[in-house]
Copies of this chain bind each other. A is one copy, B any other.
Amino acid sequence: MIDKFVADVPAALAGIADGAVVLLPGFGNGTPETLVEGLIAQGATDLTLVANSGGRDTGPTADLLATGRVRKLICSYVRPDSVAGRLFAAGKMELEIVPQGTLAERLRAAGAGIQAFYTPTGADTLLAEGRETRIINGRNCLLEYPLAGDVALIDAWEADRWGNLTHRESARNFNPVMAMAAKLTVVQTRHVLPLGGIPPQNVHTPGVFVHRVVHVPGQETTP
């Protein structure tokens, strides 16, 4: 019987090594906060963190960055007044800024076996300096490469033992594409459903992208 549920957060995060590339979804919501706390406790260091933003002064991303164990942050923006902003300004963290759509597409490319792609996004900007470009159909394009993770930490609303997931409203955001882009995809889910409890036509992230699931019931939020 396939059963991707593990007993607890330490079991879910076992084996994440120093130097790992960590994919962390979230955009106002949809961040797996308990898994981030677990990663902080787990102690892996020299990490590369891939997230939409560098977060603020508090919250999961800021808490992880504040440990000093993130060597490099790859994201679409960093607030000057944030843990990330100050770490970068102080030269204590590398930063790679990627346009948000390119970030999502590079993650998808990693999950979909696309080896590189051309996009007009970012061409003719500072982000294109020293990069390979090409004019296609009259449009200047940047060559972009896949962005794969060693581990993805995923937030779900519902999960079954095959790892099929749903996500709530806009909390879906980066979760499905990050789930497909990592060697090890670890999920925290609010609810556990029996196999088949998610209608097959309404699965948001198929279990084939998921390796471990931990039930984090948390506080019920309405609605």
Mostly, the A contact residues are: mixed
- Encode A104-141 as 1/0 by CB contact (under 8 A) with B: 01000100111111111000000000000010110101
Q: Is the CB of B119 within 8 A of A136?
A: no
Interface presence of A183 (CB below 8 A): no
Task: Count chain A residues whose beta carbon lies closer than 8 angstroms to a beta carbon of B.
Answer: 26
Interface string of A162-180 (1 = CB under 8 A from B): 0000111100100000000
On chain B, the residues within 8 Å of A109 by CB distance are 117
CB distance from A148 to the nearest CB of B (A): 11
Residues in chain B near residue A105, CB distance under 8 A: 112, 114
A201 on interface, CB distance cutoff 8 Å: yes
- Distance of A118 Cα from B143 Cα, bound (Å): 10
Q: Which residue on B lies nearest to A167, using beta carbons?
A: B201
Assembled-state Cα–Cα distance A112/B172 (Å): 19
A204 to B116, CA, bound (A): 27
**Bound-state Cα–Cα, A119 to B146, Å:** 12
CB <8 Å contact, A117 and B120: no
- Closest partner residue, chain B, to A204 (CB atom): B201
**Chain B residues within 8 Å of A172, by CB:** 201
The distance in angstroms between the C-alpha atoms of A112 and B201, with both chains bound, is 23
- How many angstroms between the C-alpha atoms of A169 and B116 in the bound complex? 31
Q: Which residues from B are CB-within-8-Å of A118?
A: 114-117
A204 surroundings in chain B (CB, below 8 A): 201
Select one of B115, B134, B166, B202 contacting A139, CB under 8 A.
B115
Residue in B closest to A166 when the chains form the complex, CB atoms: B201
Q: Complex Cα distance A167/B169, Å?
A: 20
Given contacts A166-B201, A202-B201, A202-B202, contact A113 B117 (CB under 8 A): no
Taking Cβ atoms with an 8 Å cutoff, the residues of A that contact B are 105, 109, 112-120, 134, 136-137, 139, 141, 145, 166-169, 172, 200-202, 204
